[in-house]
Each structure stands twice: as C-alpha cells, then as structure tokens.
C-alpha cells in the first residue's frame, strides 16, 4: 500500500499575509507539518501550491511540490477539489491530507490514523473529545439547552470535535465520493493541544510558546 501525504498551501491569505510560510519561532509555518509528515509512515510528502515562494521553501524543507492551478487557489476554492486534482496526477493507495496551519501535530498522530485505515475504516479525521459546555448564540440565547434545566456535565454524552489538523482516506473512496472522507469514517483522537490551528497573529503568539 502506497501512502502519501499532501499539504495544501496557497499563497493568498487574508488573516495573515503569506500565512503558510509565516515565521513561527523563526521557522516557516509549513515546515512543521512537512517535518511531521516526513517522520511518519508516509512514503512521499507533497505540497500543492500556486506560490513560487511557498514552493521553494517546501522543497528546501524536504517535500515534493505540485503546481496548483489558479482555478483551485481562490478564496472560494474547495480543498476537496485540490485533492482530486492531486489524485489525477499522483499514484497512491492512501492519502494523508494535512493542514499547514497545524504545526503541533506529531508523526505519531499521523501514524495512528494510517493504522486505523489499514485495520478498520476507509477514512479518518483528527479530533479530540469534548465534554458538554453551555453554548450561547450570538443573539444571547442558549444553544440546545435551558437555564431552567441546566444539565451537569457528566449527564451529557461526550462528543468528538473535528479539529482540521489532518484527514486520511483511501484513493478509491476519494475518487468515487470526491470528498476528503467517505465510506466507513472514524475519528482519530489526538491530544487537544496538538490540534491547535493558526489563523490569527494571536494564535501565532500562543503556539510559538507551545513549540518551545
């Protein structure tokens, strides 16, 4: 079984300019996920990008690169379409789709997901368990609970929260469904802190300290 990883890293970013190569503790952000992939049981690590600067840094970090068409690199482009583009170019059996904004993930997390695919399912997504907490809508209304009958945390079933760090799926499922996960889907539980995403400069400050 050929297992490859893919990191989607377009050049455009509104929150943080050139976010995918923004320096985090002096290291381009994308380098962290490339390193995790290279240390895992994947046989090849690819970066799909429309940006020459990202391309050069990814190659320097040890990844292979495919050029992503402009039509798949806009603000409205869907990641799943870029996965299909990749599958039409590169041969593989299992795809590990890693988000470059998740610098805390470990090769151990990736290996755990790959093992799940080989043993019991067609697709997995990284997640963590979450206990019930009271949520409110922006309009100030309780969301799916009542202050008059507030449950105790242990009375409410725990659930899984998809953190977006990575997704793993079989090629045949990806081609058929055109989705990052399909068929028999299971969560791959990873430590809460390793699923943190960088979307803002405040995130950079917090995650920089966790990476030290």
Report how far residue 95's alpha carbon sits from residue 198's, in angstroms, rounded to the nearest whole number. 23
Q: Following DSSP, what letter does each residue of the chain receive, concatenated? A: --EEEEEE--S--SSSTTGGG-EETTEEHHHHHHHHHHTTT-SEEEEEES-HHHHHHHHHTT-EEEEPPGGGSSTT--HHHHHHHHHTTS--SEEEEE-TT-TT--HHHHHHHHHHHHHT-SEEEEEEEE-----B-TTS-BSS--GGGPPPGGGS--EEEEEEEEEEEEHHHHHHH-SSS-SSEEEEE--GGGG----SHHHHHHHHHHT-
Residue 150 known to be catalytic: yes
Structural contact between residues 16 and 204, judged by C-beta atoms closer than 8 angstroms: yes
Report how far residue 133's alpha carbon sits from residue 150's, in angstroms, rounded to the nearest whole number. 10
Choosing from 10, 68, 135, 150, the catalytic residue is 150
Active site residues: 150
């Amino acid at each position: 079984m050929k297992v490859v990883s893919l990191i989607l890293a377009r050049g455009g970013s509104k929150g943080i300019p050139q976010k995918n190569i923004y320096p985090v503790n002096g290291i381009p952000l994308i380098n962290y996920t490339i390193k995790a992939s290279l240390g895992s049981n994947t046989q090849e690590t690819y970066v799909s990008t429309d940006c020459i600067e990202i391309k050069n840094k990814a190659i320097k970090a040890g990844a292979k690169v495919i050029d992503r068409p402009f039509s798949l690199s806009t603000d409205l482009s869907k990641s799943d379409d870029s996965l299909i583009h990749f599958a039409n170019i590169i041969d593989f059996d299992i795809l590990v789709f890693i988000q470059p904004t998740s610098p805390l993930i470990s090769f151990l997390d990736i290996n755990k997901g790959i093992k799940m695919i080989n043993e019991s399912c067609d697709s997995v997504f990284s997640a963590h368990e979450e206990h019930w907490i009271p949520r409110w809508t922006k309009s100030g209304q309780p969301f799916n609970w009542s202050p008059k009958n507030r449950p105790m945390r242990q009375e409410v079933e725990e659930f899984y929260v998809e953190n977006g760090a990575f997704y793993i799926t079989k090629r045949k499922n990806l081609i058929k469904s055109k989705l990052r996960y399909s068929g028999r889907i299971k969560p791959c539980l990873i430590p809460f802190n390793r699923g943190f995403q960088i979307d803002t400069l405040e995130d950079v400050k917090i995650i920089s300290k966790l990476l030290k």
